[in-house]
Amino acid sequence: MAIVLWSFMAGTVRIVAESFGATLGSALIYTVGGVLLLVFRRPAPIREFPKKYLIIGGLLFVFYESSISLSLGLASTAASSVEVSLVNYLWPTMMVLLAAGVSRRRHAVWKVLPGAIVATVGVALAVGGNSGLDWQAAAGHIADNPLPYVLAFAGALAWSVYAVFTPAWSHGVDGTSVFFPCVAVALWIIHFASGQGWPAEPPSLVAWLFVFIAAAAIGGGYACWGYGILHGSMERLAIASYATPVLSTGASAVLLGLALSLPFWCGALLVAAGSVLNYLVSARRSDPTT
Protein backbone atom coordinates (compact mmCIF):
# COMPACT_ATOMS: atom_id res chain seq x y z
CA MET A 1 0.00 0.00 0.00
CA ALA A 2 2.87 2.38 0.76
CA ILE A 3 4.37 1.81 -2.69
CA VAL A 4 1.00 2.27 -4.41
CA LEU A 5 0.22 5.47 -2.47
CA TRP A 6 3.72 6.88 -3.08
CA SER A 7 3.25 6.36 -6.81
CA PHE A 8 0.89 9.36 -6.78
CA MET A 9 3.40 11.54 -4.93
CA ALA A 10 5.37 13.04 -7.82
CA GLY A 11 2.36 13.83 -10.01
CA THR A 12 0.21 15.38 -7.26
CA VAL A 13 3.13 17.37 -5.82
CA ARG A 14 3.87 18.73 -9.31
CA ILE A 15 0.24 19.84 -9.70
CA VAL A 16 0.29 21.50 -6.25
CA ALA A 17 3.62 23.22 -7.02
CA GLU A 18 2.19 24.74 -10.21
CA SER A 19 -0.46 26.56 -8.13
CA PHE A 20 1.37 27.28 -4.88
CA GLY A 21 5.06 27.17 -5.77
CA ALA A 22 7.54 24.44 -4.83
CA THR A 23 8.34 25.38 -1.24
CA LEU A 24 4.88 26.60 -0.16
CA GLY A 25 3.21 23.63 -1.83
CA SER A 26 5.44 21.14 -0.04
CA ALA A 27 4.94 22.90 3.31
CA LEU A 28 1.16 22.83 2.89
CA ILE A 29 1.13 19.17 1.87
CA TYR A 30 3.19 18.05 4.86
CA THR A 31 1.19 20.26 7.24
CA VAL A 32 -2.12 18.71 6.12
CA GLY A 33 -0.52 15.24 6.08
CA GLY A 34 0.83 15.74 9.59
CA VAL A 35 -2.63 16.72 10.87
CA LEU A 36 -4.21 13.68 9.18
CA LEU A 37 -1.65 11.36 10.78
CA LEU A 38 -2.14 12.89 14.23
CA VAL A 39 -5.91 12.42 13.88
CA PHE A 40 -6.03 8.94 12.33
CA ARG A 41 -2.76 7.43 13.57
CA ARG A 42 -2.17 8.93 16.99
CA PRO A 43 1.45 8.32 18.08
CA ALA A 44 2.56 6.68 21.29
CA PRO A 45 3.56 9.01 24.16
CA ILE A 46 7.04 10.47 23.63
CA ARG A 47 8.29 8.83 26.85
CA GLU A 48 7.79 5.41 25.21
CA PHE A 49 10.17 6.23 22.34
CA PRO A 50 13.74 4.92 22.65
CA LYS A 51 15.99 7.98 22.69
CA LYS A 52 18.25 6.61 19.91
CA TYR A 53 15.27 6.13 17.59
CA LEU A 54 13.67 9.46 18.50
CA ILE A 55 16.84 11.46 17.89
CA ILE A 56 18.72 9.61 15.13
CA GLY A 57 15.66 8.19 13.40
CA GLY A 58 13.87 11.54 13.57
CA LEU A 59 16.85 13.41 12.14
CA LEU A 60 17.21 10.91 9.28
CA PHE A 61 13.48 11.13 8.48
CA VAL A 62 13.40 14.95 8.50
CA PHE A 63 16.70 15.21 6.61
CA TYR A 64 15.49 12.90 3.85
CA GLU A 65 12.25 14.80 3.26
CA SER A 66 13.91 18.21 3.46
CA SER A 67 16.79 17.19 1.18
CA ILE A 68 14.44 15.90 -1.50
CA SER A 69 12.36 19.07 -1.38
CA LEU A 70 15.47 21.25 -1.55
CA SER A 71 17.18 19.21 -4.27
CA LEU A 72 14.17 19.46 -6.58
CA GLY A 73 13.81 23.16 -5.80
CA LEU A 74 17.49 23.82 -6.55
CA ALA A 75 17.43 21.92 -9.86
CA SER A 76 17.89 24.62 -12.49
CA THR A 77 16.04 22.95 -15.41
CA ALA A 78 13.37 20.34 -16.08
CA ALA A 79 16.10 17.93 -17.22
CA SER A 80 17.97 18.49 -13.97
CA SER A 81 14.79 17.70 -12.02
CA VAL A 82 14.55 14.33 -13.76
CA GLU A 83 18.22 13.64 -13.02
CA VAL A 84 17.83 14.61 -9.36
CA SER A 85 14.78 12.35 -9.08
CA LEU A 86 16.85 9.52 -10.55
CA VAL A 87 19.55 10.04 -7.90
CA ASN A 88 16.84 10.00 -5.22
CA TYR A 89 15.55 6.69 -6.56
CA LEU A 90 18.85 5.04 -5.68
CA TRP A 91 17.36 4.42 -2.23
CA PRO A 92 15.79 1.03 -3.11
CA THR A 93 19.20 -0.21 -4.32
CA MET A 94 20.94 1.19 -1.24
CA MET A 95 18.27 -0.42 0.93
CA VAL A 96 18.68 -3.84 -0.71
CA LEU A 97 22.47 -3.76 -0.36
CA LEU A 98 22.35 -2.42 3.21
CA ALA A 99 19.75 -4.99 4.30
CA ALA A 100 21.92 -7.74 2.84
CA GLY A 101 25.02 -6.28 4.49
CA VAL A 102 23.52 -6.24 7.99
CA SER A 103 21.96 -9.69 7.61
CA ARG A 104 25.32 -11.30 8.56
CA ARG A 105 24.82 -13.97 5.93
CA ARG A 106 27.91 -15.05 4.05
CA HIS A 107 28.38 -13.29 0.68
CA ALA A 108 24.86 -11.79 1.02
CA VAL A 109 25.78 -8.51 -0.69
CA TRP A 110 27.43 -10.26 -3.65
CA LYS A 111 24.38 -12.47 -4.11
CA VAL A 112 21.94 -9.56 -4.35
CA LEU A 113 24.28 -7.34 -6.38
CA PRO A 114 23.35 -8.70 -9.86
CA GLY A 115 19.63 -8.19 -9.24
CA ALA A 116 20.32 -4.74 -7.78
CA ILE A 117 22.31 -3.69 -10.86
CA VAL A 118 19.62 -4.95 -13.28
CA ALA A 119 16.84 -3.20 -11.33
CA THR A 120 18.82 0.06 -11.04
CA VAL A 121 19.40 0.15 -14.80
CA GLY A 122 15.67 -0.43 -15.19
CA VAL A 123 14.90 2.50 -12.88
CA ALA A 124 17.20 4.73 -14.94
CA LEU A 125 15.39 3.76 -18.14
CA ALA A 126 11.92 4.06 -16.62
CA VAL A 127 12.48 7.44 -14.96
CA GLY A 128 14.65 9.01 -17.65
CA GLY A 129 13.19 7.38 -20.75
CA ASN A 130 10.28 9.74 -21.33
CA SER A 131 12.53 12.77 -20.89
CA GLY A 132 15.27 11.50 -23.15
CA LEU A 133 17.89 11.39 -20.42
CA ASP A 134 21.26 12.45 -21.84
CA TRP A 135 24.14 11.14 -19.70
CA GLN A 136 26.69 13.60 -21.12
CA ALA A 137 24.35 16.49 -20.43
CA ALA A 138 23.68 15.08 -16.95
CA ALA A 139 27.42 15.07 -16.21
CA GLY A 140 27.58 18.73 -17.27
CA HIS A 141 24.61 19.63 -15.08
CA ILE A 142 26.26 17.95 -12.08
CA ALA A 143 29.50 19.85 -12.70
CA ASP A 144 27.66 23.19 -13.06
CA ASN A 145 25.30 22.74 -10.09
CA PRO A 146 26.35 19.81 -7.86
CA LEU A 147 24.39 20.75 -4.70
CA PRO A 148 20.96 19.30 -5.66
CA TYR A 149 22.58 16.01 -6.72
CA VAL A 150 24.61 15.79 -3.51
CA LEU A 151 21.47 16.48 -1.46
CA ALA A 152 19.48 13.85 -3.38
CA PHE A 153 22.22 11.24 -2.90
CA ALA A 154 22.60 12.04 0.80
CA GLY A 155 18.84 11.90 1.23
CA ALA A 156 18.60 8.51 -0.49
CA LEU A 157 21.34 7.16 1.77
CA ALA A 158 19.63 8.60 4.87
CA TRP A 159 16.31 7.00 3.95
CA SER A 160 17.85 3.57 3.35
CA VAL A 161 19.62 3.75 6.74
CA TYR A 162 16.37 4.83 8.43
CA ALA A 163 14.38 1.99 6.87
CA VAL A 164 16.93 -0.76 7.60
CA PHE A 165 17.80 0.22 11.18
CA THR A 166 14.40 1.41 12.45
CA PRO A 167 13.28 -2.11 13.56
CA ALA A 168 16.33 -2.39 15.83
CA TRP A 169 16.21 1.17 17.12
CA SER A 170 12.47 1.60 17.69
CA HIS A 171 11.63 -1.50 19.76
CA GLY A 172 8.27 -1.67 17.98
CA VAL A 173 7.33 2.01 18.38
CA ASP A 174 6.37 3.79 15.14
CA GLY A 175 7.48 7.42 15.03
CA THR A 176 5.96 8.34 11.64
CA SER A 177 3.20 10.48 13.15
CA VAL A 178 5.78 12.35 15.26
CA PHE A 179 8.40 12.83 12.55
CA PHE A 180 5.97 13.92 9.82
CA PRO A 181 4.92 17.21 11.51
CA CYS A 182 8.62 17.91 12.13
CA VAL A 183 9.13 17.73 8.36
CA ALA A 184 6.33 20.28 7.94
CA VAL A 185 8.09 22.65 10.34
CA ALA A 186 11.38 22.22 8.44
CA LEU A 187 9.64 22.92 5.12
CA TRP A 188 7.98 26.09 6.47
CA ILE A 189 11.42 27.29 7.60
CA ILE A 190 12.79 26.53 4.13
CA HIS A 191 9.86 28.38 2.52
CA PHE A 192 10.24 31.55 4.59
CA ALA A 193 14.04 31.46 4.22
CA SER A 194 13.67 31.27 0.43
CA GLY A 195 11.80 34.58 0.40
CA GLN A 196 8.86 33.17 -1.54
CA GLY A 197 5.49 34.44 -0.42
CA TRP A 198 1.91 33.60 -1.28
CA PRO A 199 0.93 33.10 -4.97
CA ALA A 200 0.00 36.27 -6.84
CA GLU A 201 -3.36 34.74 -7.84
CA PRO A 202 -5.49 32.89 -5.26
CA PRO A 203 -5.26 29.12 -5.88
CA SER A 204 -8.43 27.41 -7.08
CA LEU A 205 -10.52 24.91 -5.15
CA VAL A 206 -9.07 22.18 -7.37
CA ALA A 207 -5.55 23.19 -6.29
CA TRP A 208 -6.58 22.94 -2.62
CA LEU A 209 -8.17 19.56 -3.35
CA PHE A 210 -4.85 18.31 -4.73
CA VAL A 211 -3.11 19.54 -1.56
CA PHE A 212 -5.41 17.21 0.39
CA ILE A 213 -4.97 14.34 -2.10
CA ALA A 214 -1.18 14.67 -2.05
CA ALA A 215 -1.17 14.88 1.76
CA ALA A 216 -3.36 11.79 2.10
CA ALA A 217 -1.26 9.81 -0.39
CA ILE A 218 2.11 10.78 1.12
CA GLY A 219 1.04 10.59 4.76
CA GLY A 220 -0.82 7.33 4.19
CA GLY A 221 2.18 5.91 2.37
CA TYR A 222 4.52 6.69 5.23
CA ALA A 223 2.06 5.26 7.77
CA CYS A 224 1.91 1.99 5.81
CA TRP A 225 5.69 1.95 5.34
CA GLY A 226 6.30 2.56 9.03
CA TYR A 227 4.11 -0.42 9.91
CA GLY A 228 5.72 -2.56 7.23
CA ILE A 229 9.33 -2.05 8.30
CA LEU A 230 8.42 -2.85 11.91
CA HIS A 231 6.41 -5.99 11.22
CA GLY A 232 7.50 -7.31 7.81
CA SER A 233 10.55 -8.88 6.18
CA MET A 234 13.03 -6.06 5.57
CA GLU A 235 14.76 -7.84 2.67
CA ARG A 236 11.48 -8.48 0.82
CA LEU A 237 10.24 -4.94 1.49
CA ALA A 238 13.52 -3.65 0.05
CA ILE A 239 13.05 -5.76 -3.07
CA ALA A 240 9.42 -4.62 -3.46
CA SER A 241 10.50 -0.97 -3.12
CA TYR A 242 11.98 -1.12 -6.65
CA ALA A 243 8.40 -0.74 -7.87
CA THR A 244 8.20 2.76 -6.36
CA PRO A 245 9.96 4.76 -9.13
CA VAL A 246 8.29 2.77 -11.91
CA LEU A 247 4.78 3.20 -10.52
CA SER A 248 5.55 6.84 -9.70
CA THR A 249 6.63 7.56 -13.27
CA GLY A 250 3.58 5.78 -14.66
CA ALA A 251 1.15 7.57 -12.33
CA SER A 252 2.78 10.94 -13.07
CA ALA A 253 2.38 10.33 -16.79
CA VAL A 254 -1.33 9.62 -16.33
CA LEU A 255 -1.92 12.62 -14.02
CA LEU A 256 0.07 15.03 -16.21
CA GLY A 257 -1.20 13.68 -19.54
CA LEU A 258 2.14 12.32 -20.81
CA ALA A 259 2.72 9.31 -23.06
CA LEU A 260 4.82 6.41 -21.80
CA SER A 261 7.66 5.63 -24.21
CA LEU A 262 9.35 2.32 -25.08
CA PRO A 263 12.30 2.98 -22.70
CA PHE A 264 9.84 3.19 -19.81
CA TRP A 265 8.40 -0.25 -20.56
CA CYS A 266 11.87 -1.73 -21.08
CA GLY A 267 12.92 -0.21 -17.77
CA ALA A 268 9.83 -1.63 -16.04
CA LEU A 269 10.71 -5.11 -17.33
CA LEU A 270 14.29 -4.77 -16.07
CA VAL A 271 13.06 -3.63 -12.65
CA ALA A 272 10.78 -6.66 -12.52
CA ALA A 273 13.63 -8.95 -13.61
CA GLY A 274 16.03 -7.55 -11.02
CA SER A 275 13.40 -7.81 -8.29
CA VAL A 276 12.67 -11.44 -9.20
CA LEU A 277 16.40 -12.25 -9.08
CA ASN A 278 16.72 -10.79 -5.60
CA TYR A 279 13.49 -12.44 -4.46
CA LEU A 280 14.79 -15.84 -5.57
CA VAL A 281 18.02 -15.22 -3.62
CA SER A 282 16.00 -14.21 -0.56
CA ALA A 283 13.66 -17.19 -0.85
CA ARG A 284 16.56 -19.60 -1.23
CA ARG A 285 18.24 -18.25 1.92
CA SER A 286 15.02 -18.67 3.90
CA ASP A 287 14.58 -22.29 2.76
CA PRO A 288 16.16 -24.59 5.39
CA THR A 289 16.72 -27.32 2.78
CA THR A 290 19.10 -25.14 0.70
Lowest pLDDT segment from 38-47, 72-81, 138-147, 188-197: 72-81
- For the stretch 75-102, pLDDT in tens is 666 667 677 777 888 888 888 888 888 8
For residue 212, what pLDDT is reported?
95
Assess whether pLDDT exceeds 60 at residue 121: yes
- Where residue 261 falls (left for φ over 0; alpha for ψ -120 to 50; beta otherwise) is beta
Give the confidence band of 184 by pLDDT, cuts at 50, 70, 90: very high
Q: Are 202 and 265 in contact (CB under 8 A)?
A: no
33-to-101, 121, 233 alpha-carbon distances in Å: 33, 33, 27
Most confident residue range from 13-27, 43-57, 187-201: 43-57
Neighbouring C-beta atoms of residue 161, cutoff 10 Å = 18
Q: Are 240 and 275 in contact (CB under 8 A)?
A: yes
- Amino acid letter, residue 147: L
What mean pLDDT is predicted for residues 213-222? 92
What mean pLDDT is predicted for residues 238-259? 73
For residue 288, what pLDDT is reported?
47
